[in-house]
Structure 1
């Protein structure tokens, strides 16, 4: 099986770069449509998340905590994206930050790394 690892790595690299170029092209054509497409993909997971979280029932405290968390995240992302107007330069450290946020998005349930990356201009 060790002989397949280089081919797998090459396939992953080509797929990642192809996807990144596709997203870049979509952003160049229409940034607003592409941004709303990502927002739609994120919001589309809400029904599944609602069903999974509701297996043990929904209490009033769970609704309140959800509202507080959603408002806090919206406020922080709005502040970073609109008030601070953060635009990171594409360099080694911004790519490292992007990779770390992507990794956290995989490990931490519910973290949409794409939202944070879009707020940072990446």
Structure 2
């Protein structure tokens, strides 16, 4: 004789993912605001939209969606519409603010952006050292720092203009896309 649970004792299954939760206006607006912040991160050198996406818990669902576009495609599109709208708003509005600020306070804003970059070093140092460091790691750090410094010196003394063409635009788009997906890489630096 098999036992079946009574209707009032059957547990209600929890939503399987962020896509199964009921949509509310508040949740939509929160994702819009997160998108605006991520868009601002795309504009500002030293900030990473990818890092902000991680902080706002948008990164994992975005990567899962991009890794398998066919799985729950329309549910994912509905989920990311406010993030995309917010991203565009953040990029457009903040680019106006940045352009005006650079026109009036260029030295202050360059210093601010350098501060953003330097401010990420402690967290990167801790993250990179979670499994310990060896002498080899310090040698690689020194060689990389010297190479970057040399590139900056050479780049500052030469004119690095690139003639726009289809290949340049595609390569630029690929680098910006990489900067969007990889946390810590700032698309505006590219």
Partner of 1:63: 138
Aligned in 2, Cα 1:91/1:31: closer, same or farther, shift over 3 Å? farther
TM-score normalised over the length of structure 1: 0.68
Rounded to whole Å, the distance in 2 between the matches of 1:30 and 1:8 is 31
Does 1:20 pair with 2:95? yes
Rounded to whole Å, the distance in 1 between the matches of 2:149 and 2:187 is 14
Partner of 1:120: none
Higher relative contact order (CA 8 A, sep 6+): 2
**Aligned residue among 120, 123, 132 for 1:48:** 123
Gap runs ≥5 in structure 2: 1-74
Q: Which has the larger radius of gyration?
A: 2
Secondary structure of the residue aligned to 1:101 is helix
TM-score normalised over the length of structure 2: 0.48
Partner of 2:177: 103
Does 1:36 pair with 2:111? yes
Considering fraction of residues, name the structure with more helix.
Answer: 1
Rounded to whole Å, the distance in 2 between the matches of 1:56 and 1:94 is 39
**Relative to structure 2, which stretch is displaced further, 29-38 or 99-108?**
99-108
**Aligned residue among 160, 166, 179 for 1:86:** 160
Gap runs ≥5 in structure 1: 118-122
Give a deviation string over 1:9-68, Cα, whole Å, max 9, x none. 433222210121122122111222212211111111111111111111111111111011
Secondary structure of the residue aligned to 2:130 is helix
Aligned in 2, Cα 1:107/1:49: closer, same or farther, shift over 3 Å? same
Secondary structure of the residue aligned to 1:86 is coil
